[in-house]
Structure 1
Amino acid sequence: MTVFRPDEWVLLTTQKGKSWLVRIENAPYSSHLGTVNMMDAVGKEEGEFLETNKGVKLFLLRLTMEDYIFKMKRQTQIIYPKDLGAIIIYGDLQPGLTILESGVGSGSLCLALLRAVGERGRVVSVEKREEFALLAADNIKRFYGYSPPNHDLVVADIQHVCLKVAADRVVIDLPEPWGAINKVTPFLKMGGLLVSLSPNVGQVQLTHRELKTNGYIHIQTFELLKRDWMIDALRARPVDRMVAHTGFLTVAKKVNRATAMLAAF
Structure 2
Amino acid sequence: MNTFRWGEWVALTSQKGRKWLVRIEEGPYSSHLGTIQMEDVVGKEEGDYLDTNKGARMFLFRPTLEDYIFSMNRHTQIIYPKDLGAIIFYGDIQPGCTILESGIGSGALSLALLRALCGTGRLISVEKRPEFARKARENISKYFGANPPNHDIISADIQDFHMNLKADRIFLDLPEPWHAIASVSRLIRHGGLLLSLSPNVGQVQMMFKELKTHGFANITTFELLKRDWMVDERRARPIDRMVAHTGFITLAKRTPRLFIEGSSGE
**Superposition TM-score tier, normalisation by shorter sequence:** over 0.9
Residues in 1 aligned to 2:27 and 2:93: alpha-carbon distance in whole angstroms: 41
Shift of 1:28: 1.2
1:116 is the counterpart of 2:141: no
Q: TM-score, normalised by structure 2?
A: 0.96
Match of 1:261 in 2: 260
Match of 2:11 in 1: 11
Residues in 2 aligned to 1:76 and 1:7: alpha-carbon distance in whole angstroms: 28
1:196 is the counterpart of 2:165: no
Q: TM-score, normalised by structure 1?
A: 0.96
1:41 is the counterpart of 2:41: yes
Check whether the contact 1:24–1:42 (CA below 8 A) recurs between aligned residues.
yes
Report the secondary structure of 1:110's partner residue.
helix
Q: Percent identity?
A: 63
1:24 is the counterpart of 2:24: yes
Residues in 2 aligned to 1:161 and 1:92: alpha-carbon distance in whole angstroms: 24
Match of 1:107 in 2: 107
Report the secondary structure of 1:46's partner residue.
coil
Residue identity matched to 2:51: E
1:216 is the counterpart of 2:216: yes
Check whether the contact 2:162–2:187 (CA below 8 A) recurs between aligned residues.
no
Deviations 1:62-102 (A, max 9, x none): 01111111111111011001101111111111111010011
Shift of 1:162: 2.9
Check whether the contact 1:224–1:245 (CA below 8 A) recurs between aligned residues.
yes
Residues in 1 aligned to 2:160 and 2:16: alpha-carbon distance in whole angstroms: 50
Shift of 1:262: 7.6
User: Aligned pairs, how many?
Assistant: 264
Match of 1:227 in 2: 227
Residues in 2 aligned to 1:68 and 1:201: alpha-carbon distance in whole angstroms: 30
Residues in 2 aligned to 1:10 and 1:27: alpha-carbon distance in whole angstroms: 14
Shift of 1:263: 8.4
Q: Structure 1 stretch 115-124 or stretch 158-167: which is displaced more?
A: 158-167
Deviations 1:11-55 (A, max 9, x none): 000111011010111121111111111121111110112221112
Shift of 1:114: 0.7
Shift of 1:152: 0.4
Report the secondary structure of 2:186's partner residue.
helix
Output aligned runs, 1:49-64, within 5 Å. Answer: 49-64=49-64
Match of 1:164 in 2: 164
Report the secondary structure of 1:174's partner residue.
coil
Shift of 1:257: 2.4
Deviations 1:153-188 (A, max 9, x none): 001111122323321000000000000111111110
Residues in 1 aligned to 2:119 and 2:63: alpha-carbon distance in whole angstroms: 21
When the two chains are superposed, the root-mean-square deviation of aligned CA atoms in Å is: 1.2
Runs of 5+ unmatched residues, structure 2: none
